[in-house]
Amino acid sequence: MRLRPRTTKPQTRQPLQESTGNQGRQKRRLEKEDPQSENSRLRVKRRAMDHGERSSPKKRGRPPKNKTPEASTPFDVNENPRLQLRPASQVPSSASSPGRTSSPGRSKKGLPDPGYTKPEATFSMTDLKSCQPPIIQMDIVRARKSGPVPPAVEALYKQLTRVKYACIPPELKAAYHSDIDTPKKSRDAPADEGFLPPSAKQYPPGRSSRMKQSVDIVQQDAGWNHRTKAHERKWGKLVSTIVVDYQVFESGLLAVNVETCAITPAIIRPASATGEAITTEENSTTITMGSGQSVQIGRMVDWALTLRLGDDETELISGAFSTVEDCWRSMNQSLTDFIRECPIFADLELKKELSLRDPEVQLAVWACAGLLKKQQMRWSTELPMPGIVVDGHTWTCYLFFEQKGRLIMCGPIPIGSTATVEGTWKIYYQLMLLVEWGMTVYRKWFEKEVLGWARARIGKPAIETETIE
């Protein structure tokens, strides 16, 4: 079968229609030729805004601190007032806005900024002069001129001030020289003048090597606390290291932490000039002066050196306390259970180097309460009441005693510093003298006054307490 060739009709070419893209380009070309058209005006405005006039959308949250506007712009800043730049000193900062006080500095995690100091109420020794009894601080020369000084005060003062030399045990000279050959070589050996002279009172035998280890630990801890501006509790750990060592060496000594003990009863608290008693709230004392101003004082004292009583003495005193009212059943100025049967002969108050509280005021208030307690119990007040202030590296001693109805705070008596090896050994030596005084002189006073009172109270009716509130 023969196929016929396919015939097609001749196609006539139609004119091409302009595509959508071409139409848009042609339309924009016409608009350029006609600058009065609406789209042309909008396009010019949009282009101008893209070069700096259009403002960025506002972001939520606080603006960045001290951020100045961009200085680079294609336009002349003098032609557009919206682009005028201000100096950096005139740019407002988010840290201080008008009509709003700045809040205290804060560090990360919500902790107070170390550079921010919270205001704290202060109370000076001058304010204590108006209390009843008045508390006056003076040196021994002024105290002798103002009235008679008890012989027991004179004796202890001379014993503490007689130490004007370094107090390193002479048997440790070889040990200190051998430390130079160690790999650390952290310090030089003390000079020969730093060792205790043979004519002075020596340490009890068998203590020097143990005390040297304690001195080395105290030196390291004190240096670290000073460099890091450590908290008060770090310095308290250092003090406990020293006092606990003496508790180990002396069987009749007891070192007690009394920072949570308040002065009780209320009648032995110091009073203002108007006769209003000082009130106590937990571990702090509010002193109300004649002007009606109340000032907060922190915890009274931190440590107390007391006698360790035997079972027979404790039983005797407990029997005597059963004959008096509850508010008098204590041998010191506090009714806290764990210290009410502790006869205190020395107090220690410590504060951090940068603390605003005055440790001398706290020590004076505590000693004044001890004097009033002895007077209420009709015990003799002839012995001094030693008190030690630990202010960072520095250790200072005061002797409190009664004179003409006043409480005299005699001192200061420097007893050493933990900043040097020689100063640390002097602290140990002075504490040794003070503990020895407590084990001998104060012990005799305790047996005469307190135990004698206890023997006299057995089988007698309760004492008159009409003065107790």
How confident is the model over 25-61, as pLDDT tens digits? 766 666 665 656 666 666 666 665 655 544 455 556 5
The predicted pLDDT at position 60 comes to: 61
> In 10 A of CB 412, how many CB atoms?
14
Determine the distance from the C-alpha atom of residue 259 to the mean position of all C-alpha atoms in its chain, rounded to a whole number. 13
The whole-number pLDDT of residue 70 equals 45
Cross-strand partners of 195: 168
Q: For residue range 235-258, list pLDDT tens digits in order.
A: 888 888 888 888 777 888 999 999
270 pLDDT tier (thresholds 50, 70, 90): confident
Q: What angle do CA 264, 268, 270 make, to 5 degrees?
A: 115
**pLDDT of 371 over the 80 cut:** yes
Query: Does position 352 have pLDDT exceeding 80, yes or no?
Result: no
Q: Are 393 and 417 in contact (CB under 8 A)?
A: yes
Helix (H, G, I), strand (E, B) or coil at 8: coil
- Between the alpha carbon of residue 440 and those of residues 25, 252, 303, 377, 415, the distances in Å are 114, 11, 21, 22, 21
Q: Which amino acid is at 452?
A: G
Please check whether residue 133 is in contact with residue 159, taking contact to mean a CB–CB distance below 8 angstroms.
Answer: no
Q: Whole-angstrom Cα distance, residue 328 to residue 326?
A: 5
Average pLDDT over the chain, rounded to whole?
A: 76
Query: What are the backbone angles phi and psi of residue 401, rounded to the nearest 5°?
Result: -155, 160
Within 8 A by CB and 6+ apart from 251, the residues are: 308
Mean pLDDT of 74-94: 41
Please report which helix (H) or strand (E) contains residue 249, including its range: helix 232-249
pLDDT tens per residue across span 113-153: 444 333 344 567 888 888 888 999 999 999 999 999 999 99
Joined together, the tokens standing for residue 156 give 């202890």
- What is the arithmetic mean of pLDDT over 292-317? 78
* 13 exposure class (CB count in 10 Å sphere: 0-12, 13-18, 19+): exposed
Q: Cis bond leading into 133, ω under 30°?
A: yes
Given pLDDT bands bounded at 50, 70 and 90, which one contains residue 177? confident
